[in-house]
Amino acid sequence: MIDTKVKLPREETIDYNIKTAWHAIARMYNAEAVKYGITTSIGYILLNIDDEEGTPATKIAPLFGLEARSITRTLKKMEEDGLIVRKQDDLDRRYVRICLTPKGREKKEVARRVVRQFNFSVRERVPAEKLQVFFEVIRMVMQVVDEFSLQSS
């Protein structure tokens, strides 16, 4: 049994390390994104929009673990910037699909290239077996988060 009263230095806590790593990655992505007139959030949304069919507006926010209203402002900005268009779904007119414009496809390709470069750089430095363990650990952490969330509900 783990003694939950033992004080750990923050550098040894799981959440601190995940958060600081994510913030460093986000800063790096933002520094690249700004060169192309977008943000990390816009880049991630672009990466998750289907090139051919578009993506239902209601499906985008859950990909990031967010509520739909959380990305409304970003989608509006993307539409104003000419990156996306909203189209009614052909099968069900109640649904709206977010579709890429040619400019949106161009920016998506930039985002894809940056993400691939980063992943390639990490994979060059971190042995495959260590990455496999990393992914296993992250999946386990996510399971703990899910269980913890269920207990708190």
Note whether 88 and 55 are within 8 A (CB).
no
Percent residues over pLDDT 90 in the chain: 67
Distances (CA, A) of 133 to 124, 126, 138, 151: 16, 11, 9, 27
Over range 11-22, report the average pLDDT: 91
Q: Where are the domains of the chain?
A: 10-124
Q: Answer whether 85's CB lies under 8 Å from 57's CB.
A: no
In this prediction, residue 108 carries a pLDDT of 97
CATH 1.10.10.10 assigned to 10-124: yes
Return the closest-CA partner of residue 110 out of 66, 26, 44, 49. 44
Residue 39 has pLDDT above 80, yes or no: yes
Q: Is the pTM of this model over 0.85?
A: no
pLDDT per residue as tens digits for the range 90-137 = 777 788 899 999 999 999 999 999 999 999 999 999 999 999 999 999
